[in-house]
Copies of this chain bind each other. A is one copy, B any other.
Amino acid sequence: SKSESKQSPPPVVHYHMNKLTTSSDPVGNRETVLILTPLARFYQEYWDNLLKLTYPHELISLGFIVPKGREGNAATAALQAQVSKTQSGPEKKRFASVTILRQDTESPLENQSESERHKLENQKVRRAAMSKARNSLLFTTMGPTTSWVLWLDSDIIETPPTLIQDLASHDKPIIVPNCFQRYYDEETKKMDVRPYDFNSWIDSQAAQQLASQMGNDDILLEGYHDMPTYRSLMAYMVDKGSDNPHAEVQLDGVGGTALLVKAEVHRDGAMFPPFAFYHLIETEGFAKMASRLGWKSWGLPNYFVYHYNE
């Protein structure tokens, strides 16, 4: 770190990339993890869940990017309060560093209700903006000692505490758990779970066919009836008879609500295309770009994280 003395020369830092490992035993090898969260709204449950992660916090750096505007201001204030509390609390809970970026643009959709966000015509604009936010955060916070990047949305409110170790143990370039949502079933009068994220999938001929008829800038989107892709969605691959959360499946598209990436994948140049890339955008486009760079994506259909329910 930079010396304060006026006499001493500014720092020269020398990094050997071959000494930077990304292994199935990241704790044993003291590998650093950068947790990146685009954050339009702050949820206390997200922070509480983050604090419960058992990966050594001194190996974790946090990066947030928050949009401009009233909602962004409120989110920043709430985040800042929790960060201050944690970073001045018990040593074991403190993170190595925290970076908060404020965008110079507002969130493209004023009304960020779940139904509004998911409208087809809003998706391209929204996901292009999300891509730029993710890229800004990534390009700005990744350092020479980062081994892993964990993308974690601000509305992921429940994960196993061993999330990082569990995902890393698979030793995959890109790995994504299954993102579900808890809800109250009015019929059974019981809490139940349902799929939330449909961006993790195996490609289909039908989708390829749809894509081949599209204009250059058009994008395929998952989960819309007007656009039947017949892709195999990880959301529907849950094996209810299995007690093995570590079953793996290779994917062509990934969602970003929770997503572990070896830093070298990003370093090679894999980012979140804010434009149509093979008719894909954002996290799905990222998986495609990574595959063009020789990195495969994997999913864990029986390993769950949970999205907030508005």
Would you call A70 an interface residue if the criterion is a C-beta within 8 Å of the partner chain's C-beta atoms?
no
Q: Of residues 5 to 20 in A, which have CB atoms within 8 Å of B's CB atoms?
A: 6, 9-18
Is A99's beta carbon under 8 Å from chain B? yes
Q: Given A12-B84, A98-B10, A98-B11, check contact A139 B142 (CB 8 Å).
A: yes
Whether B144 contacts A95 by the Cβ 8 Å rule is no
Fill in one digit per residue for A112-154: 1 if any B CB lies within 8 Å of its CB, else 0.
0000000000000000000110011011111110100000000
Q: Judge whether A292 and B266 touch: CB under 8 Å.
A: no
Which of A36-44, A156-164, A188-196, A268-276 sits within the interface? A268-276
Nearest neighbor of A76 in chain B, beta-carbon distance: B14
A103 and B264 alpha carbons, distance in the complex (Å): 11
Q: A139-B139, A140-B144 are in contact. Are A269 and B272 (CB under 8 A)?
A: yes
| Chain B residues in 8 Å Cβ range of A2 | 1, 96-97
Asked whether A88 is an interface residue with its Cβ less than 8 Å from the other chain, the reply is yes
CB neighbours of A293 from chain B (8 A): 132, 274-275
CB of A267 within 8 Å of the partner chain: yes
Q: Which of B95, B97, B132 contacts A268 (CB 8 A)?
A: B132
List B contacts of A139 (CB < 8 A).
138-139, 142, 266-267, 269
Task: For A100, give its contact among B13, B80, B146 (CB under 8 Å).
Answer: B13
A243 at the interface (CB under 8 A from B): no
**A6 closest partner in B (C-beta):** B91
Option from B15, B88, B99 in Cβ contact (under 8 Å) with A15: B99
* Interface membership of A83, Cβ < 8 A: yes
Output the nearest chain B residue to A84 by Cβ-Cβ distance.
B12
The complex places the Cα of A101 from the Cα of B145 at a distance, in Å, of: 11
- A250 and B89 CA atoms in complex are apart in Å by 55
In contact, A100 and B271 (Cβ under 8 angstroms): no
B103 touches A10 (CB 8 A): no
The CA of A206 and the CA of B276, in the complex, are separated in Å by 25
Q: In the bound complex, do residue A97 and residue B13 qualify as a contact, i.e. CB atoms below 8 Å apart?
A: yes
Measured in the bound complex, the distance between the Cα atoms of B100 and A143 in whole Å is 12
Query: Does B136 contact A10, Cβ atoms closer than 8 Å?
Result: no
By a beta-carbon cutoff of 8 Å, the part of chain A in contact with chain B is: 1-2, 6, 9-18, 68, 80, 83-84, 87-88, 91, 94-104, 131-132, 135-136, 138-144, 146, 266-269, 271-275, 292-293
29 A-B pairs (CB sep. < 8 Å):
A9-B84, A9-B88, A10-B94, A11-B98, A12-B83, A12-B84, A12-B87, A12-B99, A12-B100, A13-B97, A13-B98, A15-B100, A15-B102, A15-B140, A16-B104, A17-B101, A17-B103, A17-B136, A18-B104, A101-B144, A132-B268, A132-B293, A135-B268, A138-B139, A139-B267, A140-B146, A140-B267, A269-B271, A275-B292
7 closest residue pairs by CB, A with B: A1-B1, A9-B87, A18-B104, A135-B269, A136-B267, A12-B98, A269-B271
